[in-house]
Chains A and B, each alone.
Chain A
Amino acid sequence: MKARILTSWIGDGSSVPNSHRPKIADDFIIKSWEDVTNQPVSNIYPSPNLYMIEIVCTDAIFAAIQASAEYGDGIISTVDDEDDIPDVAAFNKLRNHLKNKGTKITDLDDAVGKNPGGRKKKQVAEQLKNWLKNLPKGP
């Protein structure tokens, strides 16, 4: 399964074993991933500590991620549904996920929009990615 998903950064960047990296890759066995947000190094960790990566994993691992309280609602799209329009309930779960991860309520519209608005999941992902890329450095 290939999917775009939100994760936080971990690692202090001081060494290879402790490099800045996506937390989800420590929490689940993922075959491969790519940082599709490419936040500037000077802003890592951003506030909120959040960015988007593209993962490739087995169906079983993906099911576990979907069931995870930490990551499940932060799945933006998969290779199978990226051209679908998200339903309102799923979209609101994503907004709520962003809020729970530290996004200010006043920033949610900039991050993903007020509602799906007829956009495909990959278009929502693009807006969110661009918003995440410009997050300021956190405290």
Chain B
Amino acid sequence: MVLRRGLLGGATSARRSLLAGGGGAFRTGVYGTLRVTTLLQDTFTDTDGTALNVHTMTIGSGWTNLAGTTFQINTNQCLNTRGAFSDSTNDPGWITADAGNANVTVSVQSKITESGFWLGPAFRVQNATNGWFILISDPSSYSLYEVSAGTLIQRATASPTINVGTYYTVKAVLAGTSITGFLDGVQQLTFTSATLQTQTKMGLACTGNNGTHNKFWDNFLVTSP
């Protein structure tokens, strides 16, 4: 028993070390019989004001705007000041990078800085009008959205406490037709859908009204499985 704990502990440390490393096309760690590969990673470390689509990811081939250029680096975080989906302008609501795999775990720290705005991870995105995302907002909104031809459909919702100014780790585990959402490691929702299940673009999503409304992400990570 002691030996087993020791082995697992060692593997976990090794995995953390590998996942935290920079450079290279991808990183692989082994946990027991489970092999975890980092497909995309970004700690958003760069010069303030650098547009995300020209910023170099820690791991991955880079970000592609679905529209506009308002995702940028700010104090080694990702900042979006505007958003689509409830915006009369065409400011971007999401930005993606290609993970090359649709069955992945997408995780990102997400923070709103004022009430009434939403942000989180995007996944299985086909283009600017088709994909999925989980958005959080205060005081207790955690929802899974399907976007189809630009139309937004809420498919599942939970109500954990969300505070303005606090980072939360929002995670989506994608396995075949199953989508499972977590907040700070606690499962919030699950949904079953084959829609866009082979799409491999993962990223960031947000929404907000006209004007300047800051939303922050940090430590974006896509792993397989």
With both beta carbons as reference points, the residue of chain B lying nearest to A9 in the complex is identified as B153
- Contact A13–B191 (Cβ < 8 Å): no
* B interface list, Cβ under 8 A from A: 85-87, 118, 135, 145-146, 148-149, 151-159, 188-193, 195, 207
> Chain A's interface: helix, strand, loop or mixed, by majority?
loop
**Binary per-residue interface labels of chain A (1-38) against chain B in the complex, 1 for a CB within 8 Å, 0 otherwise:** 00000000001011111111110010000111111001
Given contacts A31-B159, A33-B157, A41-B153, contact A16 B148 (CB under 8 A): no
- Contact A18–B158 (Cβ < 8 Å): no
A44 at the interface (CB under 8 A from B): yes
Given contacts A15-B207, A18-B86, A32-B188, contact A38 B145 (CB under 8 A): no
- The answer for the CA separation of A18 and B159 in the assembled complex, in Å, is 18
Give the residue among A11, A25, A31, A35 with the most B Cβ atoms within 10 A. A35
Please list 8 pairs of residues, one from A and one from B, whose beta carbons are closer than 8 Å in the complex, sorted by A's number: A13-B151, A15-B152, A20-B152, A30-B157, A34-B189, A34-B190, A41-B146, A41-B153
Give the residue among B86, B135, B152, B191 with the most A Cβ atoms within 10 A. B152
- The answer for the CA separation of A53 and B118 in the assembled complex, in Å, is 23
**6 closest residue pairs by CB, A with B:** A15-B86, A13-B151, A41-B148, A19-B152, A21-B154, A32-B158
- The answer for the CA separation of A38 and B179 in the assembled complex, in Å, is 13
Q: Which residues of A contact B191 (CB under 8 A)?
A: 34-35, 38
- Contact B189–A32 (Cβ < 8 Å): yes
Q: Which residues of A contact B145 (CB under 8 A)?
A: 16, 19
Q: Which residues of A contact B146 (CB under 8 A)?
A: 41
Q: Which residues of B contact A21 (CB under 8 A)?
A: 153-154, 157
- Contact A16–B157 (Cβ < 8 Å): no
Q: Which residues of B contact A34 (CB under 8 A)?
A: 155-156, 189-191
- Contact B157–A14 (Cβ < 8 Å): no
User: Shortest Cβ distance from B187 into chain A, in angstroms?
Assistant: 10
- The answer for the CA separation of A14 and B145 in the assembled complex, in Å, is 12
User: Shortest Cβ distance from B197 into chain A, in angstroms?
Assistant: 13
User: Shortest Cβ distance from A120 into chain B, in angstroms?
Assistant: 21
User: Shortest Cβ distance from A119 into chain B, in angstroms?
Assistant: 23
Given contacts A34-B190, A41-B149, contact A19 B156 (CB under 8 A): no
Q: Which residues of B contact A14 (CB under 8 A)?
A: 86, 151-152
- The answer for the CA separation of A35 and B195 in the assembled complex, in Å, is 14
Give the residue among B148, B153, B193 with the most A Cβ atoms within 10 A. B153
- Contact B188–A35 (Cβ < 8 Å): no
Q: Which residues of A contact B149 (CB under 8 A)?
A: 41
- The answer for the CA separation of A15 and B145 in the assembled complex, in Å, is 11
- Contact B154–A20 (Cβ < 8 Å): yes
User: Shortest Cβ distance from B176 into chain A, in angstroms?
Assistant: 15
- Contact A19–B153 (Cβ < 8 Å): yes
Q: Which residues of A contact B190 (CB under 8 A)?
A: 34
With both beta carbons as reference points, the residue of chain A lying nearest to B177 in the complex is identified as A38
Give the residue among A13, A16, A42 with the most B Cβ atoms within 10 A. A16
Q: Which residues of A contact B86 (CB under 8 A)?
A: 14-18
- The answer for the CA separation of A119 and B154 in the assembled complex, in Å, is 31
Return the contact of B155 from the options A15, A16, A18, A35 (Cβ within 8 A). A35
Q: Which residues of A contact B153 (CB under 8 A)?
A: 13, 19-21, 41, 44
